[in-house]
């Protein structure tokens, strides 16, 4: 007869194995744990203006304490530089990709087809195994995707939630001009880029949100805040154009101890979640900024909490 003792020992060891990661924290000491700080960060236009064909990642994983590349907890932002006559393949495992053409001309080939692009165009790709970007003149692109979100969840994309979409520069500028003409005197003038597959959030994709936003000459916008993180690309700006960013407001609705983020064409800055920020254009040139946020995801969770000073 076989002894039951070894089996019982195995079962006991197995039970101990399942319990070894069971931890307990006192409620008040752990209900709001200190998280890695998300700071105001800058990425200069010179990064994409020189060097070989390559991806230039904005990797803040050390600051965010992640084991994978990330610019924010949910997003990865990059510049892409592609020299005339060369190609570059991207293969991020993401559900959403946004590409804005900083300069140049070329095409992007993926399993859904081919997109021809030029300076000022913006296009989105769904979950694709990879994409081949080829330049017919020296080119630079701004690329944001949501692989960090998937890396955090430990998952891979398994289906496409939308088809590729191209927003051409001509259409973007025309739509912005219409909004500006209709809203003469408004403090804010911009167009949200939307996709019909997401009627509830009305966002660029189910995770990404984008605004093509004009800041007219001489305008200073009052502060606002939201729980989504913005990775802001400056399309165009004159001197003395900037954003003030801070954690709180004083009794007069002004930002306390603000950090100044200058608007420099071709550059990017990060606005942390929940921080108050105001945009200022003290020059005689209209400016345009293109913020990309994780607000598609945040809106779906119904925790955006957009607020502004009236």
pLDDT, residue 1, reads 47
Query: Is 164 a residue whose pLDDT tops 50?
Result: yes
- How far, in Å, CA of 205 to CA of 227, rounded? 18
Query: Is 223 a residue whose pLDDT tops 60?
Result: yes
C-alpha closest to that of 200 among 295, 288, 110, 112: 295
DSSP result, 174-220: HHHHHHHHHTTT-S-EEEE---TT-TTT--SSSS-EEEEEEE-TT-B
- In this structure, whether the domain defined by 42-308 belongs to CATH 3.40.50.11740 is answered with no
Query: Is 187 a residue whose pLDDT tops 80?
Result: no
**Percentage of the chain modeled with pLDDT above 90:** 90
Q: Average the pLDDT over 160-183 and give the result.
A: 96
Q: Average the pLDDT over 282-308 and give the result.
A: 98
pLDDT, residue 4, reads 58
Q: Average the pLDDT over 254-279 and give the result.
A: 99
| CB of 172 closer than 8 Å to CB of 264 | no
Q: Average the pLDDT over 206-228 and give the result.
A: 97
Query: Is 284 a residue whose pLDDT tops 80?
Result: yes
Question: Could you tell me whether strands 113-118 and 76-82 are parallel, antiparallel, or unpaired per DSSP bridges?
Answer: unpaired
Q: What is the mean pLDDT of the chain?
A: 96
Q: What is the value of pTM for the model shown?
A: 0.94
Query: Is 155 a residue whose pLDDT tops 90?
Result: yes
Q: Average the pLDDT over 204-231 and give the result.
A: 97
Domain ranges of the chain: 42-308
pLDDT, residue 7, reads 76
| CB of 49 closer than 8 Å to CB of 75 | no
Q: List, in sequence order, every residue forming a beta bridge with 97; answer none if it has no partner.
A: 125, 145
Question: Could you tell me whether strands 259-262 and 268-271 are parallel, antiparallel, or unpaired per DSSP bridges?
Answer: unpaired
pLDDT in tens, 19-61: 889 999 999 999 999 999 999 999 999 999 999 999 999 999 9
pLDDT in tens, 97-147: 999 999 999 999 999 999 999 999 999 999 999 999 999 999 999 999 999
Query: Is 160 a residue whose pLDDT tops 70?
Result: yes
Query: Is 188 a residue whose pLDDT tops 80?
Result: no
């Amino acid at each position: 007869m076989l002894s039951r003792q070894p089996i019982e020992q195995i079962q006991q060891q197995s039970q101990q194995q399942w319990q070894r990661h069971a931890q307990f924290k006192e409620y008040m000491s752990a209900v709001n744990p200190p998280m890695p700080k998300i700071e105001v960060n800058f990425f200069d236009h010179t990064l994409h203006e020189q060097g070989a064909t390559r991806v230039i990642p904005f990797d803040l994983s050390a600051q965010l304490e992640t084991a994978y590349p990330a610019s924010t907890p949910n997003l990865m932002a990059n510049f892409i530089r592609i020299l005339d006559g060369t190609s570059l393949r991207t293969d991020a495992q993401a559900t959403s990709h946004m590409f804005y053409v900083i300069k140049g001309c070329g095409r992007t080939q993926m399993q859904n087809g081919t997109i021809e692009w030029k300076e000022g165009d913006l296009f989105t790709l769904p979950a694709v195994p990879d994409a081949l970007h080829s330049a017919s003149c020296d080119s630079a692109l701004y690329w944001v995707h949501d692989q960090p979100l998937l890396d955090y969840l430990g998952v891979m994309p398994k289906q496409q939630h939308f088809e590729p979409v191209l927003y051409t520069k001509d259409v973007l500028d025309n739509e912005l001009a219409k909004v500006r003409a209709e809203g003469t005197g408004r403090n804010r003038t911009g167009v949200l880029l939307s996709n019909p597959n997401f009627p509830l959030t009305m966002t660029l994709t189910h995770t990404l949100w984008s605004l093509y936003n004009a800041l007219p000459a001489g305008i200073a916008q009052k502060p606002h805040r939201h729980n989504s993180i913005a990775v802001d690309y400056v399309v165009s700006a004159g001197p003395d154009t900037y954003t003030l960013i801070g954690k709180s407001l004083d009794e007069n609705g002004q930002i306390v101890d603000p950090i100044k983020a200058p608007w420099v064409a071709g550059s990017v800055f990060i606005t942390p979640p929940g921080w108050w920020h105001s945009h200022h254009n003290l020059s005689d040139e209209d400016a345009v900024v293109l913020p990309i946020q994780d607000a598609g995801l945040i809106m779906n969770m119904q925790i955006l909490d957009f607020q502004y000073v009236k």
